[in-house]
Structure formats: C-alpha cells, structure tokens
C-alpha cells in the first residue's frame, strides 16, 4: 500500500495549496490534545494490555451471548437458529457497518461463509447507543452518551443527539470498570439495548463529536488527563454545551460524482451554522451508502437540510450517469469530430470530483471495494500483525 502513503502523505500540502480547510481543526479554537489516541490502529498497538477489546467475539462472550467464528458454521448452516448477525471479528480492522449483515436464512449465510476473520452472534434487535468514556488510570472521570435515532438506514443511524446531560447506562459503566484495566484515555462503547457490540480505545469518529461541542473546559480537562495525569474536578460545572444533532445523509446510489470541496462549503454553510461537516462513506448492508455527515442545533432544520443534501446528491449522480450514457452513445454513433470535444469537456467536468482533500476520494475508493468486492476488502489480522512488526522493527532501527 505504498501508493496510499504517497498520495495521502501529501494531504496537508494539497489542502493548503487548494484552500481546503480541516473540519476537525480550522473552525474551532478548542481541540483535543494531540497526545490523545484517536484511531483504532494506533490504539491497538499502543495499549497491548487492553487490546482484547478489539476482539468482538470476546466482547460477545463476556456477555454470555450465542456467538462464534463464522467459519465454525460451515457445513451446519441448516442447524443455525436464524436470524443471526455476522461482522468482522477484529474491531481495529473494520469501521462503521462495513461487512456487517443480518442473516435471515441458510441461503444468505452461504454467500458469506468463506469470508475470513468474521464472527457471528445472535441478532440483537433494538436501537443502538454509544458512549465515550474518558479514563484516568482505569477510573472513569467523564463520559458523553450519544442517543441514536430509532429510524435507521440498514444498521446505520439517521442522526445522533449529543448532549452533556445524557447519562451512560449503568450496566455499560460496570462493564467498562470490570474489563478495562488501568487505561488512560478514551474508551468508546457501542451497544444495542443491554448488549455491547463493539469497543474501541479512542473517542467516536476521532473525537469529532467532542470537538463539535466546542467546550474549552472539556478540552482543558482532556489535556489534564492525557498530559498531566489528573482530572480537575473544579472544572466539572463548566463542562457543558448547547446540545446538537449529528445527521448522516444516505442514498441507494453509489457515489459516481463528488461535489468539489468549495461547492460543499457553499451548500452546507447555507444550511447549518455548525462548521464541522465532512464526506463520510459508510456502505450499509447492501442497501446503499451513507455519504455525508453534518451537525445542526435545531432538529427540524437539520432534517430539512439532510433532505436537501440527499436530493442534491441524487440529482448529481443521475446527471453524471445520464451524461455518461449520452457521451457513450455519441462516441459510437455521431459522425462529427466535435463528439471528441464534447466528450473531453464532459470528462473534464467529471474530474472536478477530485477537487477535494485527498482522503475523500481514497475513502470513497475504499467504500467501492466494500460495496462491490466484499471479502476482498477485508484486512486480515495476520496482515495487520505483519505490518505492526515492520513498524516496531523500523522504530528499533531508528533508535
């Protein structure tokens, strides 16, 4: 994957040259300290004493759920008590709802039975929830709990409600206290009803929702925990913000065209006064794809903005598809030499989709792999361990 490093390694220079802002940094005065671990790959490597939480099979087993390796069902598909839920076993090698499927019958199971590094569990019906805990030497010092919409696109929420007043479910707190040992940093827990489905040693969405709160006292206390080793109780009453909603935009049409970043800025800034928004690609259970995420403090206005973005997106995809069909027809049937000029102009317009931060089109490419190549998009634990050894050997060589 050296080509990926070559491309994304120039992200900062590209964004600076093109005038693209970093939505996690540029709009806000208050951020999460840089010593906070915000990614699963880094967390898995940095916290070996608690990396067990990235084994989703272990998570299910700690709660007495019916579960196992997916390949253990091979040859006995007709004995399974359906429905079941299948997903990648290792949390640090997967994201969002990628390669997660509700399996209703033997025929559906047969499509995925040979996917590597997958697990199955009993299907838990209900609304999903999520909590970010901040721990200092294993002690929970702060939390924010996200309320998910009852309505879902596949297994993806339509919106989240982010408020400092929402308490964490007690049984989730107890599980964290009983199973996370001596950790300093964030612990993200996702659950359905009373069942934990996934845990990560980082905040949700790299801290996006915490940054969106734009709370200076919270940023200060996160710094205190991560860099100075304590939580200042005197700041507790100052850790508050106006509640807001985080909306996800969904379409059944895969992204054929992406608006350039400056067009996105014009559209979204006319719909919300919250400056944190982003392209966010999440294939959803073969039903479509989440393609964008933004925030709004007013629910009704946010829902109208969400529909506007979704409709505009669909129109852009349909225009792209229609133009592609017309150009193909002209190239094969039109006698005039101008057909090549028309085709080049259309192609040039389509290429404006790359006038975005580099990670946008790379993440879009990864979503294509998930949607159209299935198991080939999965990273194996063996490959990840090999890469980890290479990184560690590189560090030892540098020293």
Specify whether 150 is located in the same domain as 116.
no
**Measured distance CA(72)–CA(114) in Å, rounded:** 10
Residue 99's pLDDT band (cuts 50, 70, 90): confident
Tell me the two tokens of residue 67.
């579960």
Specify whether 104 is located in the same domain as 151.
no
Considering Cα of 132, then 98, then 250, then 281, what sign does the dihedral take? positive
Specify whether 112 is located in the same domain as 182.
no
Rounded mean pLDDT, 323-329: 95
Cα-Cα end-to-end distance for the chain: 25
Contact between 32 and 206 (Cβ < 8 Å)? no
**Measured distance CA(289)–CA(286) in Å, rounded:** 8
| More confident: 186 or 95 | 186
Q: So what's the pLDDT on residue 12?
A: 86
**Measured distance CA(41)–CA(212) in Å, rounded:** 23
pLDDT of residue 374 exceeding 80, the answer is no
Q: So what's the pLDDT on residue 370?
A: 79
Tell me the two tokens of residue 267.
């559209």
Tell me the two tokens of residue 280.
């966010």
Specify whether 238 is located in the same domain as 94.
no
Please give the residue range of the domain that contains residue 273: 1-50+127-307
**CATH number of 75's domain:** 3.30.1490
Residue 8's pLDDT band (cuts 50, 70, 90): low
Q: So what's the pLDDT on residue 378?
A: 62
DSSP character string of 181-250: -S--EEEEEEEETTEEEEEESS-GGGGHHHHHH--HHHHHHHHIIIIIS---GGGGGG-----EEEEEEE
Q: So what's the pLDDT on residue 375?
A: 57
Please tell me the total count of domains within the chain. 2
pLDDT of residue 228 exceeding 80, the answer is yes
83 part of a folded domain = yes
Q: What is the pLDDT of residues 301-315, one digit of tens each?
A: 999 999 999 999 999
Which residue stretches of the chain are H helix?
2-8, 11-18, 40-46, 56-62, 106-112, 170-179, 208-213, 216-223, 261-269, 299-333, 338-350, 358-373, 381-398
**Measured distance CA(253)–CA(399) in Å, rounded:** 50
Specify whether 203 is located in the same domain as 284.
yes
DSSP character string of 87-116: EESBGGG--TTTT-EEE-SHHHHHHHTT-T
Check residue 75 and give left, alpha or beta (phi > 0: left; psi -120 to 50: alpha).
Answer: left
Q: So what's the pLDDT on residue 153?
A: 83
**Residues across the chain:** 399
345 part of a folded domain = no
**Measured distance CA(28)–CA(39) in Å, rounded:** 21
Specify whether 115 is located in the same domain as 254.
no
In the predicted model, what is the mean pLDDT of the chain?
Answer: 90
Which of these ranges, 251-265, 272-286, 376-390, has the smallest mean pLDDT?
376-390
Which of these ranges, 25-34, 101-110, 341-350, has the smallest mean pLDDT?
25-34
Specify whether 110 is located in the same domain as 254.
no
Q: So what's the pLDDT on residue 29?
A: 75
Domain boundary among 307, 342, 360: 307
Specify whether 152 is located in the same domain as 118.
no
Q: So what's the pLDDT on residue 219?
A: 96
352 part of a folded domain = no
pLDDT of residue 391 exceeding 70, the answer is no
Q: What is the pLDDT of residues 141-175, one digit of tens each?
A: 999 999 999 998 877 889 999 999 999 999 999 99
Specify whether 198 is located in the same domain as 96.
no
Q: So what's the pLDDT on residue 9?
A: 74
**Measured distance CA(225)–CA(139) in Å, rounded:** 11
Rounded mean pLDDT, 128-144: 97
Sheet holding 118-122, edge to edge: 67-69, 118-122, 84-88, 101-103
């Amino acid at each position: 994957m050296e080509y990926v490093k070559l491309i994304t390694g120039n992200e900062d220079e590209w964004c600076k040259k093109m005038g693209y802002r970093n939505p996690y940094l540029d709009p806000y005065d208050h951020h999460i300290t840089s010593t906070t671990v915000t990614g699963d790959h880094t967390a898995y490597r940095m916290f070996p004493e608690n990396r067990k939480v990235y084994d989703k099979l272990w998570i299910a087993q700690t709660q007495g759920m019916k579960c196992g390796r997916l390949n253990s069902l091979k040859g006995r598909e007709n004995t399974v008590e359906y429905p079941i839920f299948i997903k990648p076993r290792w949390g640090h090698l997967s994201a969002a709802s990628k390669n997660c499927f509700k399996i209703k019958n033997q025929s559906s199971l047969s499509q995925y039975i040979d996917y590597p590094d997958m697990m199955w569990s009993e299907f838990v019906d209900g609304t999903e929830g999520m909590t970010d805990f901040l721990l200092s030497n294993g002690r929970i010092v702060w939390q924010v709990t996200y309320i998910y919409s009852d309505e879902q696109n596949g297994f993806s929420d339509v919106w989240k409600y982010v408020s400092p007043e929402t308490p964490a479910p007690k049984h989730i707190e107890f599980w964290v206290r009983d199973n996370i040992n001596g950790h300093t940093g964030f612990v993200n827990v996702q659950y359905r009803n009373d069942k934990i489905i996934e845990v990560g040693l980082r905040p949700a969405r790299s801290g996006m929702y915490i940054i969106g709160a734009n709370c200076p006292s919270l940023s200060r206390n996160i710094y205190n925990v991560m860099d100075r080793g304590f939580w200042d109780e005197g700041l507790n009453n100052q850790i508050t913000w106006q509640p807001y909603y985080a909306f996800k935009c969904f379409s059944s049409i895969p992204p054929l065209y992406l608006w350039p970043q400056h067009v996105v800025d014009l559209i979204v800034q006319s719909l919300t006064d919250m400056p944190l928004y982003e392209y966010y690609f999440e294939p959803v259970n073969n039903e479509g794809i989440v393609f964008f995420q933004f925030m709004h403090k007013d629910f009704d206005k946010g829902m109208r903005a969400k529909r506007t973005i979704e409709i505009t997106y669909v129109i852009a995809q349909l225009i792209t598809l229609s133009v592609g069909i017309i150009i193909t027809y002209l190239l094969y049937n039109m006698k005039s030499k101008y057909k090549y000029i028309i085709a080049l102009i259309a192609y040039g317009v389509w290429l404006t989709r790359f006038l975005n931060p580099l990670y946008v089109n790379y993440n879009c490419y990864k979503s294509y792999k998930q949607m159209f190549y299935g198991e080939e998009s999965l990273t194996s634990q063996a490959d990840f361990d090999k890469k980890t050894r290479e990184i560690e050997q590189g560090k030892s060589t540098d020293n």
